Structure 1
Amino acid sequence: KIPTRLFNISKNMKLIVPSSYFGLLVQASSSSAFIFAAPEAKVRVQTAKRTSLFSSTAGAFSDSDIETAFFSIDVQSTGSIPRSSFADALADLGLELPESQTNELFDKYDADKGSSIDLEEFKALLTDPKMSGVKPNRDTKYAMDMFKKYDADGSGDIDKGEFRAIAKEIQADTRRRNLISVAAAAIGATIVADYSQEYQWAQKNFRSLYIEEKAEEAQNKAFPTALLSGDLDEAVAKTLYRRGFTPENTILAHSVCSDEVNNKDEQLVALMVSRWQEGFSLGGLAGLPFAGKSGFRAFLHHVPDSGKLLVMFAPHVGIDDRGVIGALQRDGQSKVSNACGAAVGAYNALLAKAASDRKPSMKLGDDKDTDLFDPQLNTIVSLLEPRLTDIDKALDPISFVTYQIYRIVRDLVDDCIEQTPDVWEYANEVAIVGGIMINRRLGGDFFQPLSFETRIKDGSPSGSSVDLFEEAFGREPDLTGILGSDETVAALYDRCSDKRAKL
């Protein structure tokens, strides 16, 4: 069964199914095609706007409407809305107020002074004159009706059998939906259904049905605050929107490994390119920005007038269903392969070199990974070698290597910015988000954020830096137990230590 933690239970123990968790099953009358859609992220035509839980025309709400709305905005499933989330909750209801009025409204209806609004207090809140401009949204009510339709036994939840029936209908109609898409393209159709938000919602809330437990356990140990790609994209966007970044004034560059697993639909690169509308690729093997300064300068020349740059960089690592870090079963393959192949290959080359140094007569054979004609891999090997001194102290060698590759990519991206003297002639702000992409066979890819800052034009080559990490992601994770020493962790978080080491 879909876990009850995805839903909420009211005080009289009646199961309440929030529409934000179940979403909509939208049926296309001509094709019988189904699409999962969260009601707050309706299927959009090109550039649709966010839909609130209530529409903007005044009207009365039933108890069912109120309960549905309350549990939809009770995102932490605590049965109450704390002051810190109150403004966002009002925004989801279609009401945006100045901070002073928001606090005044909260204090007025927090009857028990418990620093949160429960369901009964929420009902009272909806009687306030300020709420007179909203009424229940038809989509929210429609979601509930659709849930009842597929809850065949009327139990109040969707069990595996019922969910399987829904999935079977979706699968059976995929071919017809594709045929219709081709036909629409053939006649020059311009309507495009954007379902990325719906996919992210379903991926997130149904993960527990097919989770790979050993992979999840390994990820939590090695990458403790990793976020789903959609959550990372959303957190970055929210933070930058508040600083005036928009698709119209911002151009995105990404420095990630050229491995095809990093370019799947609905994963981070595709999501960010879709959000910011363009994406300039800087990355080569292991995510190093092999486009170099010339590539960065070309990217710089594409920025909108007096606009902003956004750079996302990350090495990547796979985790297979056995929980092995550095391995991944790719689509269409029965065998497990390395991910990142370049990072693992560089590490293996260094192991072979160390063994050869201990045994001078030993030959490396015909391993093409160490061939001199392989400039990208040779660069990775030479930059990685001096960073492996503490690898024996680490939780896992490949995760340690991946964190060191992150440091390498970070420093190279820094060099591209700082050694391009006219960067501030084209842009007035440069945002940089870095971390590690984690590829998973099932359940969606993740991203372990490790840095997020923006640099503002101030007359210096690098600009003045504003750290955005805590605002977007919370506190930095404690990686001492993973990397094995405080010194290695400090080097990971402190760019200056690497620059001092170079000097």
Structure 2
Amino acid sequence: MLQRKFDEVVKKEFPNAKDAKDTSIHYLGKMQIEHQLDISKVLMATSVCSDDINVPSTTFFNVLFGPFVMGGLGGVPFVGQTGMTAFAHHIPDNGSAFIFYGPHIGITLEGDLGKMYRPRMEETGNSCGALMLALSRLQDNDYTPVINDDDYQQMKLEESLLPYRDEILGSDNQAKAITEATYKIIDKKIHEYIKTCKNEFHVDKVTLLGGVIINTDYGLDDYFDARNFEVIDLKGL
């Protein structure tokens, strides 16, 4: 019953979102049936936020090799070209690569975005914490992130969001808007790194699945709003 209520709440904000575990099964099937990929030889990389709440979101983790972790705070692939090259070198012989990426956002049963009830905690907490912190800072017009070694990822995340600042602050739902902007940042970087590092791959195909992870309550399935599914032929890049 509670899962059904959450389904209604999630679909109001993300009409195309589906149960994250069902999403996993759906796209694994597409990889096998439509693209003839041998799932037993697929190495998975993730560019999702390092938040622990995202680990059980999908069943990809239970089926594929890996993951090779590319994402840091917010899901941005902070490993850069070096990380993409390392991932390319770890793919099984005659196998293929799969990259699952995107930001995450919590939602409560009351429909509050950017919040969720975490395991064994009575009060709601931020999700994504890094994005909600960035949002609170960007709301101060005098604020500019300063890159430093002590908080490098958060500062780089905020710096990358600066071009979207007006769009985010002008939105009716700023928590959702900053999540959407972060998806664009991650998607762009993943495609750039693949193109730059294409000669490092010893396989022909890289599968991408990008979107937004939507965190619900503890014990309930999360959702995933898919934005991009593609099988890239590296020879054509």
**Normalized against structure 1, the TM-score is what?**
0.44
Rounded Cα–Cα distance in structure 1 between residues aligned with 2:4 and 2:152: 37
State the partner residue of 1:228. 19
From the superposition, tell whether residues 370 and 216 of structure 1 become closer, same or farther in structure 2 (CA, over 3 Å). Answer: farther
From the superposition, tell whether residues 381 and 392 of structure 1 become closer, same or farther in structure 2 (CA, over 3 Å). Answer: closer
State the partner residue of 1:423. 200
Residue 312 of structure 1: SS of its match in structure 2?
A: strand
Paired AA for residue 134 in structure 2: A
Structure 1 segment 61-460 matched on structure 2, within 5 A:
209-211=1-3, 213=5, 216-242=7-33, 243-264=35-56, 267-268=57-58, 271-352=59-140, 354=141, 356=142, 372=148, 373-391=150-168, 394-424=171-201, 426-441=202-217, 443-458=220-235, 460=236
Q: Deviations over 1:268-326 (max 9, x none)?
A: 1xx10211133211111111111221111111111122321111101100012321100
Rounded Cα–Cα distance in structure 2 between residues aligned with 1:387 and 1:210: 35
Contact 2:198 2:234 in 1 (8 A): no
From the superposition, tell whether residues 212 and 339 of structure 1 become closer, same or farther in structure 2 (CA, over 3 Å). Answer: farther
Rounded Cα–Cα distance in structure 2 between residues aligned with 1:395 and 1:288: 24
What are structure 2's unaligned runs of at least 5 residues?
Answer: none
Residue 412 of structure 1: SS of its match in structure 2?
A: helix
Rounded Cα–Cα distance in structure 1 between residues aligned with 2:114 and 2:191: 26
Contact 2:205 2:232 in 1 (8 A): yes
Q: Deviations over 1:156-186 (max 9, x none)?
A: xxxxxxxxxxxxxxxxxxxxxxxxxxxxxxx
- Percentage of matched positions with identical amino acids: 26
Deviation at residue 244 of structure 1 after TM alignment: 1.8
Deviation at residue 216 of structure 1 after TM alignment: 4.4
Deviation at residue 343 of structure 1 after TM alignment: 0.7
Rounded Cα–Cα distance in structure 1 between residues aligned with 2:177 and 2:147: 25
Residue 401 of structure 1: SS of its match in structure 2?
A: helix
Contact 2:104 2:128 in 1 (8 A): yes
Contact 2:42 2:97 in 1 (8 A): yes
Contact 2:99 2:207 in 1 (8 A): yes
Rounded Cα–Cα distance in structure 2 between residues aligned with 1:301 and 1:311: 14
Larger radius of gyration: 1
Rounded Cα–Cα distance in structure 2 between residues aligned with 1:326 and 1:227: 18
More contact order relative to length (CA 8 Å, sep ≥ 6): 2
Rounded Cα–Cα distance in structure 2 between residues aligned with 1:378 and 1:221: 32
Paired AA for residue 263 in structure 1: V
What are structure 1's unaligned runs of at least 5 residues?
Answer: 1-208, 358-363, 464-503
Contact 1:218 1:324 in 2 (8 A): no
Q: How many residues align?
A: 234
From the superposition, tell whether residues 320 and 305 of structure 1 become closer, same or farther in structure 2 (CA, over 3 Å). Answer: same
Deviation at residue 247 of structure 1 after TM alignment: 2.8
Rounded Cα–Cα distance in structure 2 between residues aligned with 1:299 and 1:260: 22
Rounded Cα–Cα distance in structure 2 between residues aligned with 1:225 and 1:326: 18
Residue 389 of structure 1: SS of its match in structure 2?
A: helix
Residue 241 of structure 1: SS of its match in structure 2?
A: helix
Deviation at residue 394 of structure 1 after TM alignment: 3.2
